[in-house]
Each structure stands twice: as structure tokens, then as C-alpha cells.
């Protein structure tokens, strides 16, 4: 899962009871799984419902403006705020499912500490701090969209209209899939128990710091994948779902770099073709 150190932690936590009974961590995960997963599912459903309403609202310019999708006109303060809300909610919809293993592990370890009369921190603090980091990314994405809008480089579905720019985004994302930084951040996201046990901090502030650190690694792993939303359209729901599914699978597959690297090669090839396509036309 995450190396020799993490395996030792697993052995310490999996102190079995009588034969055939699960160890403490397994039992705790089963107890907390229904409550935590139902909460995460509800959060994701609400976020996706909002995104769906935005996509459906784009059928008329008046609705799109009211839902936070400014059309081809200069932005005002309200446009900026509503666009930020759109990005923040979209990050919740896409990233909460992939954060579920970490949140479940935090809840399980936290409950074990409470049962041993240790300090208890609501799991929501960890999740909120995780989403705070993605809110920071949402602010940067909003600024980037604002600049593209001002340069008239966006379609009504919020896709870049420049093949060269779209190609550059794809190639950058593909190259990043092969970098050491991607490896480090992805390894962290794939090893929730190791993160919880080695970086545990006490109290509400400690839980906030832990969630913030995990969110930072997660942004480091996925920020260029999120930038690819501009290639096929931020409001292209199939594209949004495809990126979210890829991020989830990439994190779930333990110790396999072939998926990330193969996707990187595909992004590079696609980006090269897109950037060169204007010159290849007769």
C-alpha cells in the first residue's frame, strides 16, 4: 500500500480477535462506512445537481447569466463570484468521491481514539479543510477563465477556441503525468493510512492541518487534469465525468504507474495533433 513503514502500521492496527473476526480497523471501518459514505454521497449528489442545473440553464443566455455563467460581455463582480461558486461546487462534485478512502480512514482511526477516551475531532473538519484547498484552486481557475473570456478565447460551453492553446494544455498535462512531482503526490493520495498515521495532529486545528495537507497533495496531483476541462468544455458534463472517473481510478490502482503514463502519452499525442491541426488543413 505504501511501503514497509505502512505495512508495519497495518500490522499494529490489525490486532485480530478470535479466529474469523475482523481486526479493530476493519470493524471500525464497517461501523463508520455507512454514515460517512452516505454523507459523502449526499454531498456529491447535491454538487452534481447544481452542475446539471448550470448545464441545462445554458440553453438561454439569460438563464446562464443568472446561474453564474457570464456570456460574451465584460465581467462584473457578480460574474466573478458566481463563476467561482461554479468552480468550487464542481471541485466538490469531482474530488469528493476520490477523497472517500482518506476520509473513511480518518473517521475509523478517529473513532478508535474516541473509544480509547482519546481526543475526538469531527471528521467534517478534515473534509472541510480538504475542500478549502480546492477552493483556492477554484479561485485560480476563475481568474484563468476571466482572462480567457477577456481575450475572447472561450466558446459558450467554456471551451478554449484556440486549437494551439488547447493543444498546449493537453501536452502540458501529458508531460506532467511523467514527472517526479506527479509520482510523489499520487503516492501520497494512494496511501491514506500512511498519511493518517505519520502526520496525525491533535485537536480541531490538527485535523484542519491534516486535511489541508492532503488537499495540497491532491491539487498537486490533479491540477493539470482539471485544467483540461477547458479543452472540451467546462460545461461538457461527459468530459467532466470522464476526468473525475480517471482521477478516481488513478488513485485507486495501487502501485501502477502505467495508467498515468499511458494517459500522459495519449494527452501528448492528442495535444500535438490539436496544436498542428490548423496547419494541416488545406
Condensed to tens digits (0 to 9), the pLDDT of residues 196-236 reads 778 788 778 888 999 999 999 999 999 999 999 999 999 89
pLDDT per residue of the chain (282 residues) written in tens, 0 to 9: 444 444 444 434 443 444 445 555 455 555 566 778 888 999 999 999 999 988 887 655 444 444 445 555 778 889 899 999 999 999 999 999 988 888 888 888 777 766 665 555 778 889 999 999 999 999 999 999 999 999 999 988 899 999 999 999 999 999 999 999 999 999 888 887 777 778 788 778 888 999 999 999 999 999 999 999 999 999 899 999 999 999 999 988 776 688 899 999 999 999 999 999 878 766
Confidence (pLDDT) at 59: 55
Q: Can you read off the three cell numbers belonging to residue 147?
A: 482572462
Confidence (pLDDT) at 119: 55
Confidence (pLDDT) at 72: 58
Q: Can you read off the three cell numbers belonging to residue 76?
A: 462584473
Confidence (pLDDT) at 264: 95
pTM metric for this prediction: 0.81
Reference 208, options 143, 127, 151; nearest CA is 127
Confidence (pLDDT) at 195: 76
Reference 206, options 137, 113, 88; nearest CA is 113
Confidence (pLDDT) at 30: 59
Confidence (pLDDT) at 74: 78
What HEC string does the chain produce?
Answer: CCCHHHHHHHHHHCCCCCCCCCCHHHHHHHHHHHHHHHHHHHHHHHHHHHHHHHHHHCCCHHHHHHCCCCCCCCCCHHHHHHHHHHHHHHHHHHHHHHHHHHHHHHHHHHHHHHHCCCCCCCHHHHHHHHHHHHHHHHHHHHHHHHHHHHCCCECCCCCECCHHHHHHHHHHHHHHCCCHHHHHHHHHHCCHHHHHHHCCCCHHHHHHHHHHHHHHHHHHHHHHHHHCHHHHCCCCHHHHHHHHHHHHHHHHCCCCCHHHHHHHHHHHHHHHHHHHHHHHCC
Confidence (pLDDT) at 240: 94
Confidence (pLDDT) at 70: 52
Question: CA-CA distance, 121 to 110, in Å (whole number)?
Answer: 7
Confidence (pLDDT) at 11: 39
Biggest alpha carbon–alpha carbon distance for the chain: 75
Instruction: Report long-range pairs for 237-242 (Cβ below 8 Å, ≥24 apart).
Output: 237/51, 237/52, 237/55, 240/51, 240/90, 240/93, 240/94
Torsion of CA 199, 243, 100, 261, to 10 degrees: -50
Domains of the chain: which residue ranges? Answer: 23-280
Confidence (pLDDT) at 161: 93
Confidence (pLDDT) at 42: 93
Reference 79, options 92, 69, 88, 93; nearest CA is 69
176 and 182 Cβ atoms separated by less than 8 Å: yes
Amino acid at each position: 500500500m505504501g511501503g514497509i513503514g505502512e505495512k508495519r502500521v497495518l500490522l499494529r492496527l490489525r490486532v485480530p480477535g478470535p479466529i474469523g473476526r475482523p481486526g479493530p480497523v476493519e470493524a471500525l471501518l464497517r461501523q463508520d462506512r455507512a454514515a460517512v459514505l452516505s454523507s459523502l454521497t449526499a454531498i456529491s449528489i447535491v454538487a452534481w445537481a447544481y452542475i446539471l442545473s448550470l448545464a441545462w440553464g445554458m440553453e438561454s443566455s439569460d438563464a446562464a447569466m443568472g446561474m453564474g455563467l457570464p456570456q460574451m460581455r465584460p465581467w462584473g463582480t457578480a460574474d466573478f463570484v458566481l463563476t467561482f461558486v461554479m468552480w468550487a461546487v464542481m471541485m466538490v462534485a469531482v474530488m469528493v468521491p476520490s477523497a472517500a478512502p482518506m476520509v473513511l480512514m480518518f473517521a475509523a482511526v478517529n473513532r478508535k481514539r474516541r473509544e480509547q477516551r482519546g481526543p475526538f475531532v469531527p471528521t467534517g473538519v478534515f473534509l472541510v479543510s480538504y475542500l478549502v484547498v480546492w477552493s483556492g484552486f477554484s479561485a485560480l481557475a476563475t481568474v484563468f477563465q476571466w482572462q480567457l473570456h477577456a481575450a475572447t478565447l472561450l466558446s459558450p460551453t467554456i471551451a478554449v477556441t484556440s486549437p494551439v492553446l488547447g493543444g498546449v494544455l493537453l501536452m502540458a498535462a501529458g508531460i506532467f503525468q511523467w514527472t517526479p512531482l506527479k509520482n510523489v503526490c499520487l503516492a501520497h493520495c494512494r496511501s491514506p493510512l500512511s498519511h493518517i498515521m505519520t502526520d496525525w495532529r491533535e485537536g480541531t486545528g490538527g485535523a484542519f492541518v491534516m486535511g489541508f495537507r492532503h488537499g495540497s497533495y491532491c491539487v498537486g496531483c490533479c491540477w493539470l487534469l482539471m485544467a483540461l476541462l477547458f479543452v472540451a468544455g467546462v460545461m461538457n458534463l461527459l468530459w467532466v465525468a470522464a476526468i473525475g472517473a480517471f482521477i478516481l481510478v488513478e488513485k485507486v490502482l495501487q502501485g501502477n504507474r502505467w495508467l498515468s503514463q499511458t494517459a500522459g502519452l495519449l494527452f501528448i499525442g492528442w495535444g500535438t495533433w490539436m496544436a498542428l491541426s490548423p496547419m494541416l488543413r488545406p
